[in-house]
C-alpha cells in the first residue's frame, strides 16, 4: 500500500522502502520466503522477527502478519456496521485476503473477491493462512480480473463494495481513476456503501484532496476517516466512506466479537479529522 523504492532483497539483509528521498522504513529479515515476477508485478514475501511474514508488491509493503488488523478492520467494518442488511459484498483488490477475512465475520449471502493477479492469491494462500480458510467458505467466489473492467461489464449490484487497492502504479492505476469510481457507483445498490483507501494524509495529501473532490461530486455522502497503520507511510491512513443514503455515524449493529482494533467508539472517532486535514479539505 505504501510508496517508494528500495534495494533488492537478494543483495541485502534488510529491506528499505523510501517514503521520501531521505526517509522511510526498513525491515531486517531472517529469510526471503518467496520471490517472483508475475505477469503484473514483482511479488516478495520475507520473514521479519517482529512483523512476521511481510508481503511486498513491486517493493511496497502490502501487509504484515503483525499489523494487518489495523488496515483490514478499518477498511471493512465501517461499511458493514452501517448498512442495515448487507448480503452481497464485493472486494476489489485485496488478494492477500485480509479484507475478505473480515467480511466473512458477518452473516452475508455472498462475497466476491476480484483480484487482477492470480499469483498474489496463490502466494498469499501459502504464507497468510487466513486466506486459505476464506477460500473454503461456500459464500466466497474469487474472480481474477481487473476491478474496473469487472465493474463495467457486470450487471450485478452490491450492498457493500470495498476497494483494497495498492498505490496508483502498475496494475492498480485503473482503480484510482474517475471512470473507476463512476463504474463503482453504477454497481452499488441504492442503499449501498462503498469504502476505499486513499493513502497517507502526510505523504499523499494533494492526491487525497483531488480524489475527495471527485468522490464528493459522485456521491451524496463522501466522508473521509482515518486510522493508524504502523507499517504504512506516516503511520496514519485515510479512507473514504461513500453512499447516497447512509450516514456513516448512524450505526446499525455491533461489530463482530474478537476484533483487535475496531469498535463502535473507534468508528465514531475515526470520522473526527485532524485540523490540518480539515483545513485542506475546506
Tell me whether residue 206 is exposed, middle or buried, using C-beta atoms within 10 angstroms of its C-beta: 0 to 12, 13 to 18, 19 or more. Answer: exposed
- Residue 239: C-alpha distances to residues 176, 186, 194, 213 (Å): 13, 20, 10, 14
- Clarify whether residues 206 and 144 are in a common domain: yes
Which residues, 6+ apart, have CB-to-CB distance to 89 below 8 Å?
80, 103, 108, 110, 111, 112, 158, 159, 160, 161, 162
State the pLDDT at residue 165. 86
> End of a domain among 43, 64, 85?
64
Q: Which of 146, 155, 164, 265 is catalytic?
A: 164
> End of a domain among 47, 64, 81?
64
Domain that holds residue 213: 68-281
- Clarify whether residues 262 and 158 are in a common domain: yes
Pairing of strands 60-64, 52-57: antiparallel
- Clarify whether residues 88 and 178 are in a common domain: yes
DSSP 164: E
Rounded to whole angstroms, the Cα distance separating 156 from 138 reads 19
- Clarify whether residues 199 and 275 are in a common domain: yes
Looking at the domain assignment, is residue 1 inside a domain?
no
The pTM score is: 0.93
Give the length of the chain. Answer: 282
Q: What is the CATH number of the domain that holds 33?
A: 2.30.140.10
Looking at the domain assignment, is residue 181 inside a domain?
yes
Rounded to whole angstroms, the Cα distance separating 212 from 97 reads 26
Looking at the domain assignment, is residue 3 inside a domain?
no
Per-residue pLDDT of the chain in tens (282 residues, 90 and over written 9): 444 444 444 544 789 999 999 999 999 998 899 999 999 999 999 999 999 999 999 999 999 999 999 999 999 999 999 999 999 999 999 999 999 999 999 999 999 999 999 999 999 999 998 998 999 999 999 999 999 999 999 999 999 999 998 665 555 556 678 999 999 999 999 999 999 999 999 999 999 999 999 999 999 999 999 999 999 999 999 999 999 999 999 999 999 999 999 999 999 999 999 999 999 997
Looking at the domain assignment, is residue 144 inside a domain?
yes
- Clarify whether residues 161 and 263 are in a common domain: yes
- Clarify whether residues 57 and 194 are in a common domain: no
- Clarify whether residues 141 and 85 are in a common domain: yes
Please give the sequence-ordered ranges of beta strands (E in DSSP) within 144-246, or none if there are none. Answer: 158-164, 188-199, 221-228, 236-243
- Clarify whether residues 150 and 18 are in a common domain: no
- Clarify whether residues 94 and 56 are in a common domain: no
Q: CB atoms < 10 A from the CB of 50, how many?
A: 11
Looking at the domain assignment, is residue 4 inside a domain?
no
- Clarify whether residues 48 and 178 are in a common domain: no
Q: What is the CATH number of the domain that holds 205?
A: 3.40.50.150
Structural domains in the chain (count)? 2
Residues 227 and 277 sit within 8 Å (Cβ to Cβ): no
Looking at the domain assignment, is residue 248 inside a domain?
yes
Please give the sequence-ordered ranges of beta strands (E in DSSP) within the chain, or none if there are none. Answer: 14-20, 23-28, 31-37, 42-48, 52-57, 60-64, 88-93, 110-114, 140-143, 158-164, 188-199, 221-228, 236-243
- Clarify whether residues 47 and 78 are in a common domain: no
User: Active site includes 137?
Assistant: no
Which residues, 6+ apart, have CB-to-CB distance to 84 below 8 Å?
191, 252
Looking at the domain assignment, is residue 184 inside a domain?
yes
Q: CB atoms < 10 A from the CB of 22, how many?
A: 6
Looking at the domain assignment, is residue 30 inside a domain?
yes
Nearest-CA neighbor of 79 among 115, 113, 104, 103? 103
CA atoms within 13 A on the CB side of 64: 19
- Clarify whether residues 55 and 168 are in a common domain: no
Amino acid at each position: 500500500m505504501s510508496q517508494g523504492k528500495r534495494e533488492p532483497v537478494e543483495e541485502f539483509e534488510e529491506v528499505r522502502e523510501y517514503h521520501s528521498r531521505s526517509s522511510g522504513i526498513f525491515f531486517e529479515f531472517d529469510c526471503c520466503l518467496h520471490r517472483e515476477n508475475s505477469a503484473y508485478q514483482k511479488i516478495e514475501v520475507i520473514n521479519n522477527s517482529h512483523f512476521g511474514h511481510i508481503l511486498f508488491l513491486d517493493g511496497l509493503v502490502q501487509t504484515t502478519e503483525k499489523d494487518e488488523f489495523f488496515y483490514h478492520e478499518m477498511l471493512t467494518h465501517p461499511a458493514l456496521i452501517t448498512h442495515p442488511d448487507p448480503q452481497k459484498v464485493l472486494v476489489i483488490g485485496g488478494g492477500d485476503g485480509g479484507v475478505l477475512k473480515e467480511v466473512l465475520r458477518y452473516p452475508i449471502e455472498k462475497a466476491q473477491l476480484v483480484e487482477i493477479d492470480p499469483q498474489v492469491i496463490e502466494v498469499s494462500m501459502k504464507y497468510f493462512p487466513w486466506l486459505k480458510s476464506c477460500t473454503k467458505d461456500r459464500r466466497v467466489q474469487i474472480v481474477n480480473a481487473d476491478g474496473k473492467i469487472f465493474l463495467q461489464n457486470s450487471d450485478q449490484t452490491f450492498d457493500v463494495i470495498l476497494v483494497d487497492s495498492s498505490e496508483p502504479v502498475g496494475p492498480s492505476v485503473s482503480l484510482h481513476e474517475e471512470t473507476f469510481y463512476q463504474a463503482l457507483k453504477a454497481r452499488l445498490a441504492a442503499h449501498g456503501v462503498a469504502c476505499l483507501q486513499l493513502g497517507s494524509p502526510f505523504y499523499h495529501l494533494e492526491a487525497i484532496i483531488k480524489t475527495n473532490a471527485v468522490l464528493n461530486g459522485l456521491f451524496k455522502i463522501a466522508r473521509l476517516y482515518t486510522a493508524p497503520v504502523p507499517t504504512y507511510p506516516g503511520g496514519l491512513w485515510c479512507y473514504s466512506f461513500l453512499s447516497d443514503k447512509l450516514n456513516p455515524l448512524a450505526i446499525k449493529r455491533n461489530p463482530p466479537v474478537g476484533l483487535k482494533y475496531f469498535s463502535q467508539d473507534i468508528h465514531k472517532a475515526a470520522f473526527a479529522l485532524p485540523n490540518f486535514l480539515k483545513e485542506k479539505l475546506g
